[in-house]
Structure 1
Amino acid sequence: MAVVLVGGCGAVAERRDAATAATERFERALASRQYAEVCRALADVTRQEVEQSTAGPCEQGMRQERVPAGGRVVHVDVYGRQARAVLTEDTLFLSLFPDGWRVMAAGCTPQPDQPYQCEIKGG
């Protein structure tokens, strides 16, 4: 029984580490204005939403969006295939896809007694 618990914890830690790495890659690309890389880090539905809301390619849309540089990762919570990454200046929501973690929403701020308000998010 202890082996199963240790193995289960390891899987959560591995998912958390991978979600943290995806968050850090997204933040580095955002901070250095590498918008093609930012767009590659987004989930397809989020990238499509950026393109629709800005009426142009994702890279151009990300130049227009007001997603703040998030700073350093404070902690990452993983719940199955979903994750919330809390940074010093932002919160990101990620989902795990077959090719890895992708950003579903960014530029998110908590609202009292309501869901987070996010600058970009998938529909």
Structure 2
Amino acid sequence: MTDRGDAAAAVAVRMLTAVAEMDAAAACPLLAPDTLAELEQSADKPCAEAILAEDLPKPGSVSASEVYGQRAQVRLSGDTVFLAVFPGGWRVVAAGCTARGEKPYDCVLQGG
């Protein structure tokens, strides 16, 4: 993994850990703006309530982290998380994602 890959993986694990520990104040700032807006709109609740209701897996060990320009994919045991770079650093674009062969990933949490 590269330094950027390590940084992306750290944010993915931090967000999933915060949700697992019911710490919405730590999880919400780690979401990309579109993902945050989509979550609040679909749940019709602020992120602090909505994120804890999402069925996200507990953070597993990181098996791979790949950076593609301004985007990253972090594979953990039991989850795949997609991130993007923003002025404040890496932010989670989608989480709770499972591969579906040739089709796009199916994600529990994702932006619009």
**TM-score between the two structures when normalised by the length of structure 2:** 0.93
Structure 1 residue 84: Cα displacement? 0.3
Greater share of strand? 2
Deviations 1:62-117 (A, max 9, x none): 12211111311111011111000000011000001111000000010001220000
In structure 1, the residue matched to 2:107 is: 118
Contact 1:50-1:120 at 8 Å conserved across structures: yes
CA RMSD of aligned residues (A): 1.3
In structure 2, the residue matched to 1:104 is: 93
**TM-score between the two structures when normalised by the length of structure 1:** 0.85
1:16 corresponds to 2:5 = yes
Alignment gaps of 5+ in structure 1? 1-11
Greater share of helix? 1
1:18-97 alignment runs, 5 A limit: 18-97=7-86
**How many angstroms apart in 2 are the aligned matches of 1:31 and 1:102?**
18
Matched pairs, number: 112
SS at match of 2:59: coil
**How many angstroms apart in 1 are the aligned matches of 2:78 and 2:24?**
19
Contact 1:75-1:87 at 8 Å conserved across structures: yes
Q: Aligned residues: percent identity?
A: 43
Give the structure with higher Rg (CA): 1
Alignment gaps of 5+ in structure 2? none
User: Deviating runs (4+, > 3 A) in structure 1?
Assistant: none
SS at match of 1:33: coil
> In 2 relative to 1, CA 89–70 (structure 1 residues): closer, same or farther, beyond 3 Å?
farther
Contact 1:54-1:64 at 8 Å conserved across structures: no
**How many angstroms apart in 1 are the aligned matches of 2:99 and 2:30?**
22
